[in-house]
């Protein structure tokens, strides 16, 4: 990863580029829920934040999840608050969407669809990657 630290003169702090990489399905493991919690916590530190959903992680932001039958709480709607917490760069891998027969209309929040190669480039530009 290239060093892309920026100095924020208004606060005398170094701003790091951080990306949350959501790869796991939202139910069956705690990873996506923990990822959401970490996103909201880190957002308090005024860094350059982004999130990418790929592979089965796309299901974390899919509309219409029904979880009563599996006995877990549906936390997916909470992802809608990300822009309000300063996480406005939200990406979805095009290939992952297509492999699952989904479109952006199936998702809970506005996202930018990127090709796999574009996602890789974005990841390389980050100072920190948080995999979930």
pLDDT digits (tens, 9 = 90+) for 80-125: 899 999 999 999 999 999 999 999 999 999 999 999 999 999 999 9
Total domains in the chain come to: 1
**pLDDT 10s digits, 42-68:** 999 989 999 999 999 999 999 987 666
CB 125 within 8 A of CB 84: no
Residue whose entry in the numeric block shows the structure tokens 């891998």:
93
Q: From the DSSP assignment, how many helices (H) and strands (E) are in the chain? A: 3, 7
Domain CATH for 27: 3.40.1260.10
Structural domain containing residue 27: 6-131
Q: If residue 53 lies in a helix (H) or strand (E), which one and from where to where?
A: strand 48-53
Task: Tell whether 1 is covered by a domain.
Answer: no
113 phi/psi in degrees, rounded to 5: -85, 130
């Amino acid at each position: 990863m290239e060093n892309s630290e920026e100095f924020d003169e208004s606060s005398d702090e170094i701003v790091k580029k951080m990306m949350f990489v959501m790869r796991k399905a939202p139910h069956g493991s705690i990873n996506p829920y923990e990822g959401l919690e970490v996103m909201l916590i880190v957002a308090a530190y005024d860094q350059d934040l982004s999130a990418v959903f790929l592979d089965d992680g796309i299901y974390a932001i899919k509309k219409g999840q029904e979880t009563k039958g599996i006995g877990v709480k549906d936390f997916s709607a909470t992802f809608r608050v990300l822009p309000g917490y300063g996480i406005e760069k939200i990406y979805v891998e095009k290939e992952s969407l297509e492999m699952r027969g989904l479109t952006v209309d199936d998702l809970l929040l506005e996202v930018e669809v990127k090709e796999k190669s574009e996602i890789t480039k974005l990841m390389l530009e980050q100072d920190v990657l948080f995999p979930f």
